[in-house]
Amino acid sequence: MTVIKELKNEHEAVLLTIRILDQITTRLKSGQTVEIKHLDQILEFLTIFVDKCHHGKEEKVLFPAMEEAGIPREGGPISTMLYEHEQGRSFVQGLRRGVEGYRVGKEHSVTEIIENAQKYGLLLSSHIDKENNVLYVMAERVLSVDKLTEMENAFIRIEKLEIGPNKHEEFHATLHALKNVYLA
Ligand SMILES: [Fe+2]
Ligand SMILES: [Fe+2]
């Protein structure tokens, strides 16, 4: 599997998480309760799998490789992607605050969860669309086969460092279980 294909596969997992989160917000909006455990699982997925691992691969490996190949960081798609990663982080922080409040029955915590989940979903859906259809296409055009192979090894190192052995499968299993609860 090429590194770009790997990143695209990870995008599919992010999009699935967004669909699950959408269902969670729908339930919360209609006054239903949601299991805290599910919210914690989603937060862990967004923090570790999406941010540390997927965005880590992009920020530490893909973007620098593209810059090396002549795509400027400033004023181009790379700086936009970096900015959107930052925005995503702040929505996840907001979501975490909402979940912490929800755990102790704090007022307004449901609104905080809903607002941040919606903003995150909108942002990441369009971010992924831009990466799949613009940035990754550019990467495939400018990166050599040798560079792509070198990146494969760097990705393996990030996986090991940020996620650790077996955790990747565990994340996918959790996501699958959540899918059965919310999207069945
Ligand atoms: Fe990204
Ligand atoms: Fe991405």
**Ordered domains of the chain (ranges, CATH):** 3-182 (1.20.120.520)
Q: What is the pLDDT of residues 13-56, one digit of tens each?
A: 999 999 999 999 999 999 999 999 999 999 999 999 999 999 99
Instruction: Confirm if 4 and 66 have CB atoms less than 8 A apart.
Output: no
Residue 5 has pLDDT above 80, yes or no: yes
Summarised one tens digit per residue, pLDDT across range 55-102 is 999 999 999 999 999 999 888 899 999 999 999 999 999 999 999 999
Which ligand is closest to the CA of 128, given by its number? Answer: 2
Q: What is the whole-number distance in angstroms between the Cα of residue 106 and the centre of ligand 1? A: 33
pLDDT range class, residue 110, cuts 50, 70, 90: very high
- Which phi-psi region, left, alpha or beta, contains residue 174 (left: φ > 0; alpha: ψ -120 to 50)? alpha
pLDDT at 176 (0 to 100): 97
> Separation of 58 CA from ligand 2 center, angstroms?
7
Note residues around ion ligand 1 (Cβ under 5 angstroms): 58, 81
The ligand whose atoms approach the alpha carbon of 63 most closely is: 1
In which residue are the tokens 């919606």 written?
118
pLDDT of residue 168: 86
pLDDT of residue 88: 98
Residue 28 tokens, joined: 């919360």
- pLDDT of residue 177 exceeding 80, the answer is yes
DSSP 33: -
Supply the mean pLDDT for the chain.
96
